[in-house]
Structure 1
């Protein structure tokens, strides 16, 4: 499978404002930076590596799911999973924690009290897509 990822050696990542944007449907205080690859949700193909950051105090209000695999590593900060629509409750996780979700797994809502940075891998399973 060709994931259209290029060879990159170590290089500095600008963690300031350059190259960050809010994904469609996300609050403005949650932003992504694509590091490598692409994910074509219409054609159900690709492999994307991204950073996702939450500003302090931001939360989402509803669980969601998607049709691709997702691996998430909490690089820094805090992330709470399963809060209510007012941002209350849920289970809190600290840096150096990990999740791996198969397609169509409901997850969220999410919040971060102090802000966080996640590294995420998103990809389609070619064998599952052909079934």
Structure 2
């Protein structure tokens, strides 16, 4: 697998301000992403992306997600519930310092956060050199 990302040394990431955060396509209001490195091209099924994803308090998704790339997720701060219903009820709650690794095609979610959360996510396609 070839990983092509730009060289970046340690630098500050502002997680509190709204600058640099944008809603990901297809997500409900109250969920924003900040891409840290890389580009994931879902049309041509190439590339990789490292991003922060945050949920505002009380936000939830209503249906499972499935995509054709690998996904690694680390819960940095806050609370995240996995497997709630379309009304945001139920599911299994997780606390910071928990991790998931999902292969392409794995159904996951829906998700909610009662108090808000920040996730570190790494997405990538299987690529041959």
TM range (shorter): over 0.9
Q: Which runs of 4+ in 1 moved over 2 A?
A: 1-4
Matching of residue 8 in structure 1 with residue 8 in structure 2 = yes
Q: Provide the residue aligned with 1:95 in structure 2.
A: 96
TM-score with structure 2 setting the length: 0.95
How much does 1:2 deviate?
4.8
Q: Supply the RMSD in Å over aligned alpha carbons.
A: 1.0
Query: What number of residue pairs does the alignment pair up?
Result: 127
How much does 1:68 deviate?
0.1
Distance 1:106 1:78, change over 3 A: same
How much does 1:64 deviate?
1.5
Q: Write out per-residue CA displacement over residues 44-94 of structure 1, whole angstroms, 9 at most, x where no aligned residue.
A: 100100000000000000012000000000000000000001100000000
For residues 86 and 43 of structure 1, the distance between their equivalents in structure 2, rounded to whole angstroms, comes to 34
Aligned ranges for residues 1-131 of structure 1 at < 5 Å? 2-15=2-15, 16-126=17-127
